[in-house]
Amino acid sequence: MTNSDFEPLNPGDTIGIIGGGQLGRMLAMAAAKLGLKTIILEPGKDCPASEVAVQTICAPYDDPAALKELVKSCKVITWEFENIPLDAVNFLKENTLLRPNPLALEKSQDRLTEKQFINDLGIATAPYYRVDTIEDIKQGLDRFGSDAILKTRRFGYDGKGQSRLSKQAKSADISAAFDALGRNPSILEGFVTFSREISIIVGRSTNGDIRCYDPAENAHTNGILHTSTLPANITPETRNAAVRIAEKIVTALDYIGVMGVEFFVTPTGDLIVNEIAPRVHNSGHWTEAACAASQFEQHVRAVSGWPLADPTRHSDCVMENLIGDDVNKMPQLLTLPDVSIHLYGKAESRAGRKMGHFTQLSS
Amino acid sequence: MTNSDFEPLNPGDTIGIIGGGQLGRMLAMAAAKLGLKTIILEPGKDCPASEVAVQTICAPYDDPAALKELVKSCKVITWEFENIPLDAVNFLKENTLLRPNPLALEKSQDRLTEKQFINDLGIATAPYYRVDTIEDIKQGLDRFGSDAILKTRRFGYDGKGQSRLSKQAKSADISAAFDALGRNPSILEGFVTFSREISIIVGRSTNGDIRCYDPAENAHTNGILHTSTLPANITPETRNAAVRIAEKIVTALDYIGVMGVEFFVTPTGDLIVNEIAPRVHNSGHWTEAACAASQFEQHVRAVSGWPLADPTRHSDCVMENLIGDDVNKMPQLLTLPDVSIHLYGKAESRAGRKMGHFTQLSS
């Protein structure tokens, strides 16, 4: 169905969310704050979002009966993660209002397609080389003349599905790296020299309005976001360039909702898009503590056909993820002033698992 | 049971909340943000809190089976409103950890007991006169020599259960006023001349720490809170005096949790306590938008045996209630910058019904 078939939602209406992790949980809470109901579709039992949603349908993402039930009960359906099975996407596209535009899923589910799409907009990415065979990897390394990262084209996140390769990598190393990715279709990304990593959380509404939160400066540990700091240590020119790129991407996709765009900032201040995430994004969690309306509210407003919120930041801040046993810092965090804590209700803390985050405000 | 029998809660533990209105809803959301679960006890179907709680027990507040289930499933039980049947309070007091101290309910459920308790602490209230008969009302009016308000001792809120009486009221008026209150035990309150109304949201933790949010200046319409403005237009001396009074009250009650204390400020800057509310309070809703931790989080922290949050305000603000059809302003509110909107998920808007609120931030 097309967007023009639909009126904006009213308070009391229901939004379907595909995926019941912490992003779904925070979307559900933001929807509740605006008087909207949510139904979660998630195969995992006792998922984080189920605790704050009106209903949870516990079934695979592509379960036909579950999808039908979701369509029947919801005015609009959105998602918290991009790796939704294409069968489900196609069913929803045909039978209900699915927002954002699923074209964004098509582009972002495959690293190769994503990079081609971004380059086609005249926006820089890391150099990349399509990999189907061992030979492709060798050719790519030769071409770049630099260290590189081998990444699966699909289903990678938080540094998973990746292997680093030296430019002098031997055949055995190359073979082992490709084996580690199951010899799945991959891309080789040439190493980019960068000064810092930033991201923009951009929202676009049904009427084409676009609002960007201030860029966050991000630090990663073991491939997982560790901190997002506001303001980022960048020039106004770099900031404006990042905003223009984010605007260009959401416009090209006729996107409705919130998207995270990750950038490398080169030593000369140029921007290279690392990745786009067609959903609310970990590097935007600070918005809940430092803005009148969070990225989660912004996404809910957009998919509801409502006006976007003002993304102005009232405070500087640092958001820090609580990964695995970091959550044991909770008693100490509770004693700190000007800190907003957010836990995700996950029973078991495992290495690398995102258990929560906190945002330290400053003036 | 006593507080010393209990360890602080851990993330993942469950809090029981008696009452499923908007205050219960916002308590449940604050608990979820801290990784805690909530179970609501509420006789009304489809109550606002049920949409964001893990479970809702739909039964009368004093239903024995429901109370037993709540006790079994929860580490601590608290409430969103003070008019809990005493049988339920007594059962919970005997069988689980009930926070705040139910002594606060005993004092605040009866306007006469409440005023005596406050006066006994050396704190001023409006002059009052106990009313059991028509004759008592006449004697009270004579004694005050001013207009007065007749209020039922129990179960009044938002201006309900009240009648204003002129100092020259005739017997017929007096009789009609008492009839309107069902001739229930009442008090007559002498009119107080005041310049403004303020309130303090005070929190007290298990270790006796006390934190007060900044006083809000409140404006009422038809007996219902309309706006709370921060900062209040009061001197630092009045502010400090209000804080000291709030501290004295929660200490005397060995109170654990958040309480709202409403004051009249006289033209000479003196303070008169109007009312105490042993729970989160409408005049504290601004804290959600203008502080790192809201009054709801503060209450959850306190009853969980956790340290209190820093109540520092990062922004000035005005909170405005959306009463009845005010909620139709929603489309316009969504277009305003620096506004945090909070709706309660109530399906039907009725005159005088609190449907939501919004907080306009300024720097």
- Check residue B155 and give its pLDDT: 78
The DSSP bridge partners found for residue B322 are B356
Across the interface, whether the CB atoms of A32 and B312 are under 8 A apart is answered no
Q: How far apart are CA A119 and CA A240, in angstroms?
A: 19
| Contact between B307 and B224 (Cβ < 8 Å) | no
Q: Which pair of structure tokens corresponds to residue B245?
A: 């009074």
Model confidence at B260, pLDDT cuts 50, 70, 90, reads very high
Across the interface, whether the CB atoms of A347 and B29 are under 8 A apart is answered no
Across the interface, whether the CB atoms of B340 and A293 are under 8 A apart is answered yes
Chain A residues close to B48, C-beta within 8 Å: none
Chain A residues close to B345, C-beta within 8 Å: 11-12, 32, 35-37
- Closest partner residue to B344 (CB to CB) among A35, A37, A346 is A35
Chain B residues close to A300, C-beta within 8 Å: none
Which residues touch B246 (CB under 8 Å, ≥6 apart)? Answer: B200, B202, B210, B212, B259, B261
Rounded mean pLDDT of chain A? 95
Complex ipTM, two decimals?
A: 0.94
CB neighbours (10 Å) of residue B108?
A: 21
Give the percent of chain B with pLDDT over 90: 91
Chain A residues close to B51, C-beta within 8 Å: 32, 37, 54
CA distances for B180 relative to B117, B134, B139, angstroms: 27, 13, 19
- Closest partner residue to B292 (CB to CB) among A33, A327, A339 is A339
Across the interface, whether the CB atoms of B361 and A314 are under 8 A apart is answered yes
Q: How far apart are CA B133 and CA B154, in angstroms?
A: 16
Residue B171 distance to chain A (closest CA, Å) = 48
Which residues touch B240 (CB under 8 Å, ≥6 apart)? Answer: none
- Check residue B161 and give its pLDDT: 76
DSSP H/E element including B196: strand B196-204
Across the interface, whether the CB atoms of B32 and A11 are under 8 A apart is answered no
Across the interface, whether the CB atoms of A344 and B35 are under 8 A apart is answered yes
Residue B200 distance to chain A (closest CA, Å) = 20
3-state secondary structure of A348: coil
Lowest mean pLDDT segment, chosen from B14-23, B150-159, B296-305: B150-159
Q: Of A192, A189, A237, A193, give the one whose Cα is nearest residue A215.
A: A237
Instruction: Give the mutation candidate from B17, B27, B52, B362 for the A interface (greatest A CB count, under 10 A).
Output: B52
* pLDDT digit string, tens, across residues B28-47: 999 999 999 999 999 999 99
Q: Which pair of structure tokens corresponds to residue A192?
A: 């980019």
Residue type at A182 in one-letter notation: G
Instruction: Give the mutation candidate from A341, A355, A358 for the B interface (greatest B CB count, under 10 A).
Output: A341
- Check residue A161 and give its pLDDT: 77
Across the interface, whether the CB atoms of B338 and A25 are under 8 A apart is answered no
Across the interface, whether the CB atoms of A35 and B356 are under 8 A apart is answered yes
- Check residue B157 and give its pLDDT: 64
| Contact between A126 and A190 (Cβ < 8 Å) | yes
Cα B47 from chain centroid (whole Å): 19
Mean pLDDT, rounded, for B67-91: 95
Across the interface, whether the CB atoms of A12 and B289 are under 8 A apart is answered no
Across the interface, whether the CB atoms of A51 and B33 are under 8 A apart is answered no
What totals of helices (H) and strands (E) does chain B contain, helices first? 11, 17
Across the interface, whether the CB atoms of A301 and B35 are under 8 A apart is answered no
Chain A residues close to B29, C-beta within 8 Å: 29, 32-33, 52
- Check residue A1 and give its pLDDT: 53
The low-confidence residues of chain A, meaning pLDDT below 50, are none
A:B CB pairs within 8 Å: 107
Chain A residues close to B313, C-beta within 8 Å: none
- Check residue A222 and give its pLDDT: 87
Query: b/e map of A86-122 (b: 16 or more CB within 10 Å)?
Result: eebbebbbeebbbbbbbebbbbbbbbbebbebbeeee
Shortest CA distance from B39: residue in chain A: A51
- Check residue B83 and give its pLDDT: 87
* pLDDT digit string, tens, across residues A12-49: 999 999 999 999 999 999 999 999 999 999 999 999 99
Reported in sequence order, the residue ranges of chain A that DSSP labels E, i.e. its strands, are 14-18, 37-41, 55-57, 76-79, 128-131, 148-152, 162-165, 186-190, 196-204, 210-212, 216-221, 224-230, 257-265, 271-277, 316-323, 339-343, 354-362
- Check residue A197 and give its pLDDT: 98
Across the interface, whether the CB atoms of B306 and A11 are under 8 A apart is answered no
- Check residue A363 and give its pLDDT: 76
pLDDT at B190 over 60: yes
Instruction: Give the mutation candidate from B341, B346, B360 for the A interface (greatest A CB count, under 10 A).
Output: B341
Q: Of A353, A239, A344, give the one whose Cα is nearest residue A20.
A: A344
* pLDDT digit string, tens, across residues A54-95: 999 999 999 999 999 999 999 999 999 988 998 999 999 999
Chain B residues close to A33, C-beta within 8 Å: 29, 341-343
Chain B residues close to A363, C-beta within 8 Å: 314
Across the interface, whether the CB atoms of B343 and A315 are under 8 A apart is answered no
Across the interface, whether the CB atoms of B334 and A307 are under 8 A apart is answered yes
Shortest CA distance from A47: residue in chain B: B54
Between helices B64-73 and B86-95, what is the axis angle to 10°? Answer: 30
Instruction: Give the mutation candidate from B10, B22, B33 for the A interface (greatest A CB count, under 10 A).
Output: B33
- Check residue B33 and give its pLDDT: 98
Residue B335: half-sphere exposure toward Cβ, Cα within 13 Å: 3
Rounded mean pLDDT of chain B? 95
Residue carrying structure tokens 């209000």: B242
